[in-house]
Amino acid sequence: MIDFQPDRARGQAPTLVEQLVAAVQRAIETQALRPGMALPSVREFARQYAVSTFTVASAYSRLVSQGWLTARPGAGYRVAAPETPARRAEPLSWEPPRLNDSWLLSDIFADHSIPIKSGCGWLPGEWLNEEGLHMALRHLGRVPAMRIANYGHPYGYAPLRETIAAGLAAHGMEVDASQVLLTQGVTHGLDTVIRTLLRPGDTVLVEQPAYANLLQMLRLAGMRTVAVPRGAEGLDCEALERAAALHRPRALFINTALQNPSGASIGMANAFRILQAAERHGLWVVEDDISRELATGLTPMLAALDGSRRVVYLGGYSKVISPSVRVGYVVAHRDLVRDIARTKMAVGLTTPEIMERIVHQVIREGRYRAHIERTRERLGQAHAAVARHMDELGFEICARPGAGLFLWAKVGGTWRERGANGLAELALKDGIWLAPGSYFEASEADTPWVRFNVAYSEAPELWRFMRNAGAA
């Protein structure tokens, strides 16, 4: 049906992705594949031709973007109908998007045309807990419509809040369900916390580097941000003391476990020094802990050590269940949670109970812990493979957690002096999305650091590009 005979000659033949794209196009043009016919699944094709699933998924994605194939959840990949606008006698050439704030913050989530998504912040679709989601959806289908037809409670679905409180107790954080507020993901939670605790013109401390979306939210809210260096061992507490004394900030925003973008986690001594500084200077500490489920070792939880006095804790499920199931939570002192709930209702009303019920059912389903363990194992293997590529090219790696999504590395060659923005622009032309350091800098300075999502960074094409682009 598809005449695909991969040529693996290094440096001479087109990439395997390009070869596979061409083979499918030939099969469609010669009518060996007809409109509506299904293609083999990604795994089946990869097994049949002894190529990686990443190669097949990248080729299929490129064929969808060019109009040769269609993709529907549950139906796989099929040959597009002749009247599809993108299909013409000559296929449309792929054009890279423009690398700017608009694409990063909005269009990127709808852009499925980029074959290699090394810069993204989520797990591959085939890694997600598909069986658990399907079981939860079937369970939800049996719930009487009248029970899910209303707005729901301002704090969110009570059984899920109780489950979250019980789970936090296992980490030494004693709270009850009245201290848990559900949100539409951690990013929404951060927004409600910012709106509740802070006012335009306030000074806040952020990590350097820091979560890119947090920096954008603080800018939109009119905050003055001061960066405190963060490295493999945690936050620079001497710099924290100086910044707090000089700028009199209202809050510190921090990732504790598997920080985005560095992948590093704080240690116990670092955690105590952060809390002591917060006490001395009257700081709120906003702890974004979205990646804790992916951590393999013991990482201190600031909110547990603090007893929820100065620490506002945020967690969620986008990294382990699905990014499209937008459910997160905020945990804090009971009075503060009441104020955050008022903000939540003022700007968006209640959160979708249907999504919250799905998450609750997935957690209750017996295979959830096994799914977490499998994901940790796969990420550990990906970390080892990607770090080997980086070592071969002489990249400087900030931390080697062996867990979580990210490795943060300083590229070499001419880009070490010029910064990674130009490298990212060049990579997009080759269908590779990189996340340069400027995304994660409060000052937006162009740096030679790049965030790599290890689950998307094993493709040989990525490392071939790095060599050819002079990043070694």
pLDDT in tens, 218-274: 999 999 999 999 999 999 999 999 999 999 999 999 999 999 999 999 999 999 999
**Tokens representing residue 238 in the block:** 């001497």
Q: Which whole-number Å values give the CA distances from 68 to 45, 53, 63, 87, in the listed order?
A: 17, 19, 5, 6
**Tokens representing residue 17 in the block:** 């992705």
Cβ neighbors of 209 (< 8 A, separation 6 or more) are: 230, 261, 262, 408, 437, 440, 441, 449
Strand extents, DSSP E, 61-189 = 69-72, 76-79, 180-183
Q: Note whether 70 and 36 are within 8 A (CB).
A: no
Domain positions in the chain: 16-79, 101-127+370-468, 132-364
Pairwise CA distance, residues 435 & 409, whole Å: 11
Q: Which CATH number fits domain 16-79: 1.10.10.10, 2.40.10.480, 3.40.50.720, 3.40.830.10?
A: 1.10.10.10
pLDDT higher for 90 or 253? 253
pLDDT of residue 89: 39
Q: Has this prediction a pTM greater than 0.85?
A: no
pLDDT in tens, 410-467: 999 989 999 999 999 999 888 899 999 999 999 999 999 999 999 999 999 999 999 9
- The dihedral through the CA atoms of 86, 90, 91, 92 has a sign that is negative
Pairwise CA distance, residues 409 & 387, whole Å: 9
pLDDT in tens, 124-177: 888 887 778 778 778 777 787 767 777 889 999 999 999 999 999 999 999 999
Segments in 282-429 forming alpha helices (H): 302-306, 334-348, 353-364, 368-393, 415-418, 421-429
Q: Note whether 118 and 99 are within 8 A (CB).
A: no
CATH number for region 132-364:
3.40.640.10
pLDDT in tens, 29-48: 888 898 888 989 888 898 88
Q: Which helix (H) or strand (E) holds 184?
A: none
The percentage of the chain sitting over the pLDDT mark of 70, rounded to a whole number, equals: 90
The C-alpha angle with vertex 451 and arms to 445 and 455, in degrees rounded to 5, equals 165
Which homologous superfamily does the CATH classification assign to the domain defined by 101-127+370-468? Aspartate Aminotransferase, domain 1 (3.90.1150.10)
